[in-house]
Structure 1
């Protein structure tokens, strides 16, 4: 009994210790969660609410004859590149060909006042998630209200960064910029920039390095760098993501904001929310009936509060716009301005809290998401993002969802996948065919799908910072940027330099996601690469869900864009006219027959599987891997798509 008593007493004491430890962990978890949350919604902590006066940008009237580096474009990526180059001791010219008087481009003039942040992978409730790209981006971020900010604050913060650099000359409002390119055999090299000043004077400025930080890689295109446009790499020559005209509403009193908070905090929707500087929700604005149904649509509201009692709305989508054509962009402004009075009137009638709002203004610049994608020494692929790949020459990291905006009013847009962390390589900012040039920002060497995550500002500023530092290293080592991209010692020095500037560029490894271990994963990779499969915000590709006849027909119709000459038949011809194919399972015979029709291969529904196997369009092991041949899953159909893709991808 005594022994039992001691055991009992010991167990009781141990229980108290465990209980106490558990309580400490819970308290620590709560405080850790609050710590992380307060950091991720910095706007609650740092906002003064006092409007800033826009500071003047100190500029030069006439640039010097030569600079160590010229940075073309004053968007955030250009600011980061110029500051980085200056801090590495380089005489730098930061020049812009738009009619701008302030720095920051789309952030300050397109009124994009919310950041798409990139955080490190979640390591548990007690872990504070750090932002992935620090350095100059973090330095600028510390000067603004948070991940949603006042655009004047942002512009002043960009100006402050540049004004503190004695090695930077700023030249604004030039009428034209054109790269000067020398030819030597098969090699082209940028040697300067021909600038038409505001007064019409033309001056050629010499340089050993040009960093193209324009939104659309204008300098690279003019220098002869190859590129694709929009979704061209998917075989879609015409589609473009919607552009957005941000608009400003006034009379946004604290009472209005409080009523907005009451709505968004009580709508039982985890996808909506509000803090002191931003709100996201009002999803039923997608039901707004536009005056121009073919060209204009609304989505749920992304709202940015400004310190002067106004708020900015990012929600008006305009379709069919070529972001590289000034006339097309002017058309977008006209379409948006014609629609806006009706939108504001609709909001006032639908939502009581907006009864007193008024349209104040529209952004000076249009938000264009996608135009050119240069061809570089490495092209970032959607599989790099899907598999959370590191790169040996990493210069930036991304983790933002692959966000593909609508292409038309009938489209819904898509989130392809949400990565945990992937690396952007230095090779992706080194263009093919032209030396003396680096390209940073959204038009760097990214395929169209990964562009949906890599186009965000934190990634762009990191690539700009890397470019500025790379110029110094290439100069000291006597390397071209192309040679540097293949030189591990030079890249190691670049990474060390960037880390000394505040970046944290370390190797990483991410555990494979469960869907990567599925038997159909090889097929899924092909389907994702062709834009035929999406996983949404939870990376659920539904590989084991039953497919249906309509879904397979739609995927094959989408696949035809990849090789229209070879895949010229219509798989939809296999669908019955008297039934709803969305409600019908798809058998292997039915799917194979659709493929045969697409390939214009002579086959019947009964022998299509055999015919495709004999022609090399369907592998026997794929047929064997399909467990239920009468009701194919999504994974089964992706494997069949893989076989067709592999068979035709190299055909002329």
Structure 2
């Protein structure tokens, strides 16, 4: 492949205690946590809004806040849920604690919390590199419409989901032992008879809310008609009458490969229109339905997994091992989707699990924390923690830890975990 060499002078536009890369569920919560803990904080996001999978990819509901009748994801994430409910933009699906929400309300309430906390927002900025000096990342490099920019950072948090900052800095990655889970393009349908459509409120523990009636019919139709490969399907309330968010497309793709990602986006968009036509034709609840919009980006379930100080295993997770350095919880089932067919492995937990602080840090990197689905876990544990409430908990822990380390001037490996846990509990975390 032909190579070119590019040399650029990059202006440093700001200096921060904490720079968070990625404004998804883990990232924006990490930024709020760091700022509330006293750190001068910046958040970098490629879109003009935050929320990531919840807003750009239209992933509804936010899962899972409650398990076995008890709240397991508290603090800033639960405050956010309550504020959305107060704004009539969300509904808590009791007793499980999945959160039906309007993505537009999500964007607004999260933005308000960031600005109220004093976070500097750097929207429309794409992370393209970093400067590493020995064990520290000193700057993150961004591309904007006005050219390249750099932010100086005492501590950095990778909340890109795909572990982009980690990859740029040379963080070691795990080798995947199973095929990658497939991406899906979610879409919103209006004009649906939501009173007649079952399983749109995901409220009961131990129940997979895929619609078996629709699934069975689609499999029958596939014998005589062109039915794209699908998962579920899952029909989800967005707290608005007549509208449902649909999660059913899937295709094999490594979304780190631009060529594969492009093919996947094109394939899935074709499939969305095919599914809308099938739903309108064969299912009375959808006879007056219309496609309102597709997600701005395809939802990604799995790419990189960093090799952190501790790799959380599926066995530890399923057994709810209570680590001494536990900083967050998870309660979603082990949820593994198959790329090439309609199957899914869904294993429910007996008890809500714990995530250790050591899974957010990396040997050899003194000022880096990771808050997102790329954190240090094997593919089994990650298949649960990758969902939004769990990732928000990781963000809350990482942001608080980064601020404390910035105040003490210490490595993330020498953080006072007991002090960190005390602050998280004061905020409402249940660890």
TM-score normalised by structure 2 residue count: 0.87
Q: Which residue is equivalent to 2:182?
A: 242
Within-5 A mapping of 1:125-204: 129-144=69-84, 145-146=90-91, 147-166=99-118, 168-183=119-134, 188-200=135-147, 202-204=148-150
Within-5 A mapping of 1:57-76: 64-76=13-25
Q: Which residue is equivalent to 1:366?
A: 298
Q: 2:55 aligns with which of 108, 113, 116?
A: 108
Work out which of the two has the higher radius of gyration on C-alpha atoms and give 1 or 2. Answer: 1
Q: Secondary structure at the match of 2:329?
A: strand
User: Partners in 1 of 2:128 and 2:212 — Cα distance?
Assistant: 39
Instruction: Report the CA distance between 1:323 and its aligned residue.
Output: 1.6
Instruction: Report the CA distance between 1:303 and its aligned residue.
Output: 2.5
User: Partners in 1 of 2:58 and 2:241 — Cα distance?
Assistant: 14
Pair 1:333–1:264, CA change in 2 (3 A)? closer
1:216 has 2:148 as partner: no
Point out where structure 1 has 5 or more consecutive residues left out of the alignment: 1-61, 123-128, 485-489, 506-652
The structure carrying a bigger helix percent of its residues is 1
Q: 1:481 aligns with which of 412, 417, 423?
A: 412
Q: 1:491 aligns with which of 408, 417, 430?
A: 417
Q: Secondary structure at the match of 1:373?
A: coil
Does the CA-based 8 Å contact 1:304-1:313 persist in structure 2?
Answer: no
Pair 1:498–1:181, CA change in 2 (3 A)? same
Instruction: Report the CA distance between 1:380 and its aligned residue.
Output: 0.3
Instruction: Report the CA distance between 1:259 and its aligned residue.
Output: 2.4
Instruction: Report the CA distance between 1:74 and its aligned residue.
Output: 0.5
Deviation string 1:351-400 (CA, Å, 9 cap, x unpaired) is 12211112222111111101000000111001102222100001001222
RMSD: 2.5
User: Partners in 2 of 1:345 and 1:407 — Cα distance?
Assistant: 23
Of the structure 1 ranges 490-499 and 141-150, higher mean CA displacement relative to structure 2 is found in 141-150
Instruction: Report the CA distance between 1:449 and its aligned residue.
Output: 0.6
Does the CA-based 8 Å contact 1:399-1:419 persist in structure 2?
Answer: no
1:399 has 2:335 as partner: no
Q: Which residue is equivalent to 1:413?
A: 344
Q: 2:366 aligns with which of 427, 435, 448?
A: 435
Instruction: Report the CA distance between 1:302 and its aligned residue.
Output: 2.6
Q: Secondary structure at the match of 1:435?
A: coil
Instruction: Report the CA distance between 1:70 and its aligned residue.
Output: 0.3
Instruction: Report the CA distance between 1:81 and its aligned residue.
Output: 0.6
Q: Which residue is equivalent to 2:95?
A: none
- The count of aligned residue pairs is 403
Q: Secondary structure at the match of 1:227?
A: coil
Deviation string 1:496-524 (CA, Å, 9 cap, x unpaired) is 1111122132xxxxxxxxxxxxxxxxxxx
User: Partners in 1 of 2:241 and 2:155 — Cα distance?
Assistant: 41
Within-5 A mapping of 1:221-620: 221-228=167-174, 232=176, 234=177, 236=178, 239-252=179-192, 256-261=193-198, 282-284=214-216, 286-287=218-219, 289=222, 296-305=229-238, 307=240, 309-318=242-251, 320-409=252-341, 412-484=343-415, 490-505=416-431
Instruction: Report the CA distance between 1:203 and its aligned residue.
Output: 2.7
Q: Secondary structure at the match of 2:58?
A: coil
User: Partners in 1 of 2:335 and 2:350 — Cα distance?
Assistant: 11
1:207 has 2:147 as partner: no
User: Partners in 1 of 2:105 and 2:59 — Cα distance?
Assistant: 12
TM-score normalised by structure 1 residue count: 0.58
Point out where structure 2 has 5 or more consecutive residues left out of the alignment: 1-10, 85-89, 92-98
User: Partners in 2 of 1:495 and 1:504 — Cα distance?
Assistant: 10
Moved over 6 A (4+): 290-293
Pair 1:423–1:301, CA change in 2 (3 A)? closer
Instruction: Report the CA distance between 1:130 and its aligned residue.
Output: 2.3
Q: Secondary structure at the match of 1:372?
A: coil
Q: Secondary structure at the match of 1:93?
A: strand
Does the CA-based 8 Å contact 1:285-1:300 persist in structure 2?
Answer: no
User: Partners in 1 of 2:141 and 2:265 — Cα distance?
Assistant: 30
Deviation string 1:90-115 (CA, Å, 9 cap, x unpaired) is 1111012x3x1111111011001212
User: Partners in 2 of 1:281 and 1:442 — Cα distance?
Assistant: 31
Deviation string 1:458-512 (CA, Å, 9 cap, x unpaired) is 111111111111123223333211233xxxxx1100001111122132xxxxxxx
Does the CA-based 8 Å contact 1:211-1:437 persist in structure 2?
Answer: yes
User: Partners in 1 of 2:294 and 2:271 — Cα distance?
Assistant: 12
Does the CA-based 8 Å contact 1:247-1:361 persist in structure 2?
Answer: yes
User: Partners in 2 of 1:115 and 1:182 — Cα distance?
Assistant: 38
User: Partners in 2 of 1:333 and 1:292 — Cα distance?
Assistant: 19
Does the CA-based 8 Å contact 1:285-1:299 persist in structure 2?
Answer: no
The structure carrying a bigger strand percent of its residues is 2
Does the CA-based 8 Å contact 2:32-2:117 persist in structure 1?
Answer: yes
Q: Which residue is equivalent to 2:32?
A: 83
Pair 1:502–1:64, CA change in 2 (3 A)? farther
